[in-house]
Amino acid sequence: MSRIRHPALAAGSILWLLESATGPPALAFERQIEVTNNTRMAIVEIQIARVGTDRWETDLLGEDILLPAQSLMVDIEDAKGYCRFDFKTVFDDGATLIRRNVDVCAAERFAISYR
């Protein structure tokens, strides 16, 4: 017969077993990042692609336009929990800017500029 000497340890073990059996919470792979336009032109599209794929996903701005000096919270959803993405920005004059290897898990903010 075994006795549990530390109830908190037992509760933590049970919680760990339940989490591992059911998987991570559904919202675990949804991230928000604040995107700021530090250019002099309006941004009409922001697309992302997993690093190394060059498969651009849906426009994060949707119907919105990001004017100079404006910020906007965008959702980055990836069912596999991937963190590194390339960002493709399309400006109102048709010019594009690609920033590679942005870690959306580590960053809370992302500034678009011509550096």
Per run of 10 residues, the mean pLDDT along the chain (length 115 residues) is 48 45 49 93 95 89 94 84 93 96 91 83
Residue 29 gets which letter from DSSP? G
Check residue 58 and give its pLDDT.
Answer: 81
Check residue 115 and give its pLDDT.
Answer: 58
Check residue 93 and give its pLDDT.
Answer: 95
Check residue 41 and give its pLDDT.
Answer: 96
CATH number of the domain bearing residue 76? 2.60.40.2890
Q: Which domain covers residue 108, as residue numbers?
A: 27-112
Check residue 6 and give its pLDDT.
Answer: 52
CB 29 within 8 A of CB 79: yes
Residue 6 located in a structural domain: no
By C-alpha distance, which of 59, 75, 65 is closest to 37?
65
Check residue 76 and give its pLDDT.
Answer: 85
Beta strand residue intervals within the chain, DSSP E: 30-37, 43-50, 71-77, 84-91, 96-103, 109-112
Residue 33 located in a structural domain: yes
Residue 8 located in a structural domain: no
Interior angle at CA 14, CA 11 and CA 15, nearest 5: 85
Residue 82 located in a structural domain: yes
How many domains does the structure of the chain reveal? 1
Check residue 29 and give its pLDDT.
Answer: 59
Q: Which residues pair with 36 in a beta bridge?
A: 71, 111
Check residue 75 and give its pLDDT.
Answer: 86
